[in-house]
Amino acid sequence: MTQPTFKPGQIWLDTAGKPIQAHGGGILFDKGTYYWYGENRETPTRKIHEIADWDCKRTDVIGISCYSSPDLYHWKNEGVVLTTIPDDPAHDLHPSKVVERPKVIYNDSTGKYVMWLHIDTWDYKYAATGVAISDNPTGPFRYLGSFKPNGADSRDMTVFKDSRGEAYLFHSSEWNKTMYVTPLADDYLSTGKTLARIFIDQSREAPAVFKRNGKYHIITSGCTGWDPNQAQSAVADAVTGPWETQENPCRGKDAAITFYAQSTFVFPVAGYKDAYIFMADIWNKDDLENSRYVWLPVRFEGDSPVIEWRDEWDLSVFNSD
Ligand code: DGJ
């Protein structure tokens, strides 16, 4: 059998031969299986003409997809695990709303799978975070509602679960100018008081947070809508900072625009030493359904992540445990 590989930027088919629909996604590793959650954008892309100050394009919401994999190469479609509510135009999950960047973490105390996501109105002015819960990684997820953490904006976001189970919401706030670090309650269903404002007035979004050798890392993008821009990494001894900004983690051709992609998640690969994968989206803003995925290995120079383009690669770039 030929060795399966990752082919960044190319169409990625699921085990049924259909293109994977899991944009702005994240990975959960649970009991030996990887789960990939992301936006299903299998509807036509429309320009929103009512918004004049930026190039707003959208797809009607279908819901959040889940795919499962034993090996990170082969993904089985587990279906739409958080579905829309088409008959209530006021509902957060109505197809006319914005439902983006889902991330799922497992709560060891309650035994529940908890999904956090960006919930917005069609014009991105509500700026809230939503929560859904399930007994199983493959759903169905029950939607619990949305809110603005401590009354503050929350647009692009991620959740990060730390080694002892404490979890944090990283969210672009203050009209995306400043990122907030806000703790989740023990059951992961609500938030506490925001602990830190980071990257103040730096307009960072698309946060991907991970931990390595006791240090916390975050990779973010700038704010240019669906268009690519330069990534930035930062490192800290605590999630609340201080965060020391590093240089662009991407190297080589097109590194200045993150290889045409935008960060969404970084995760450690089980069974390998010091192995992390950077996940990003090459948005096709005129046809969002046909946006592509970029997965690349992360290597480290001291405490600085480095991401280089590869046309094709496999997990043998990492050292086994
Ligand atoms: C950039 C964000 O990172 C995406 O998730 C999406 O909200 C687009 N902006 C919309 O233009």
User: Structure pTM?
Assistant: 0.98
Q: Which residues have C-beta within 8 Å of that of residue 151, sequence separation ≥ 6?
A: none
3/50 Cα distance (integer angstroms)? 49
| Mean pLDDT value of segment 21-42 | 98
Question: Ligand 1 within 6 A of 127 CB?
Answer: no
pLDDT for residue 203 is more than 70: yes
Q: What is the pLDDT of residue 228?
A: 98
Q: Tell me how far the alpha carbon of residue 17 lies from the centroid of ligand 1, in angstroms.
A: 28
Question: Ligand 1 within 6 A of 206 CB?
Answer: yes
Question: Ligand 1 within 6 A of 280 CB?
Answer: no
Percent with pLDDT over 70 in the chain: 99
Question: Ligand 1 within 6 A of 252 CB?
Answer: no
| Mean pLDDT value of segment 82-104 | 98
1/49 Cα distance (integer angstroms)? 50
pLDDT for residue 121 is more than 90: yes
What is the rounded radius of gyration, in angstroms, for the C-alpha atoms of the chain?
18
Are the C-beta atoms of residues 234 and 204 closer than 8 Å to each other? no
* Residue 247 pLDDT level (bands cut at 50, 70, 90): confident
pLDDT for residue 150 is more than 80: yes
> What is the residue-averaged pLDDT of the chain?
97
Question: Ligand 1 within 6 A of 100 CB?
Answer: yes
pLDDT for residue 292 is more than 90: yes
First and final C-alpha spacing in the chain? 24
Q: Tell me how far the alpha carbon of residue 161 lies from the centroid of ligand 1, in angstroms.
A: 23
Q: Tell me how far the alpha carbon of residue 318 lies from the centroid of ligand 1, in angstroms.
A: 31
* Residue 116 pLDDT level (bands cut at 50, 70, 90): very high
Show the domains of the chain with their CATH numbers. 23-311 (2.115.10.20)
pLDDT for residue 115 is more than 70: yes
| Mean pLDDT value of segment 137-161 | 98
pLDDT for residue 4 is more than 90: yes
| Mean pLDDT value of segment 287-307 | 98
* Residue 321 pLDDT level (bands cut at 50, 70, 90): low
Q: Tell me how far the alpha carbon of residue 184 lies from the centroid of ligand 1, in angstroms.
A: 23
319/321 Cα distance (integer angstroms)? 7
Q: Tell the residue number behind the tokens 């240089």, with chain if given.
A: 247
Q: What is the pLDDT of residue 216?
A: 98
Closest CA to 37 of 19, 47, 23: 23
Are the C-beta atoms of residues 314 and 274 closer than 8 Å to each other? no
Closest CA to 247 of 236, 233, 237: 233
| Mean pLDDT value of segment 190-216 | 98
| Mean pLDDT value of segment 219-243 | 98
| Mean pLDDT value of segment 288-316 | 98
Percent with pLDDT over 90 in the chain: 97
Q: Tell me how far the alpha carbon of residue 282 lies from the centroid of ligand 1, in angstroms.
A: 12
* Size (the chain), residues: 321
Going by alpha carbons, the residue nearest to atom 10 of ligand 1 is 225
Question: Ligand 1 within 6 A of 101 CB?
Answer: yes
Q: Which residues pair with 263 in a beta bridge?
A: 280
Q: What is the pLDDT of residue 2?
A: 82
